[in-house]
Amino acid sequence: MKRVSILFVCMGNICRSPLAEGLFAHIARESGLADRFKIDSAGTGAWHQGKQPDRRSIAIARAHGIDITGQRVRRVRLEDFEEFDLFLAMDRANIAELRAMAPGAGNIMLFGDAALQTGEDIPDPYFGGPEGFELIYTRLLTGCIALVLGADQASLSGNTSSVR
């Protein structure tokens, strides 16, 4: 069975996308499905390259029993468009940046569409307080559960279109 590869993308790869990566990995492990996925996260900008995620993302993940301290910030690379089956962008600005990088890519989706079925942007909590990080944690948790379980259901029927 081919592993589904997902790249979570936000602007700086310090708040939303590393939290989504950590949540997805945790949920997949707890569900016994980790071997079915290859996941990573990246940013459209390179301001924080090589650093850990934002301390507030680390704290909210830790508060829920998830450790994301081993992650390192990176920028989206052109080769990612060949390597990953699906890019899940946190907001429409990220979608625009990704499409500018790879105009023909058909594997770019809004997290709010693919995971939440709401079309919502996941707001950037960087300039706010802890309540913003709790909000994105809740939205990302809901979406990541749906993605992992949806992928499992799709694999049971032999169909992977629900995660593409």
> Which residues are marked as active site?
10, 16, 124
Establish how many alpha carbons lie within 13 A of residue 26's alpha carbon, considering only the half-sphere containing its beta carbon.
Answer: 18
Q: CA angle 33-38-43, nearest 5°? A: 130
Q: Are 76 and 13 in contact (CB under 8 A)?
A: no
Structure tokens that stand for 69 in this block = 């301290």
Judge contact between 112 and 121, C-beta under 8 A: yes
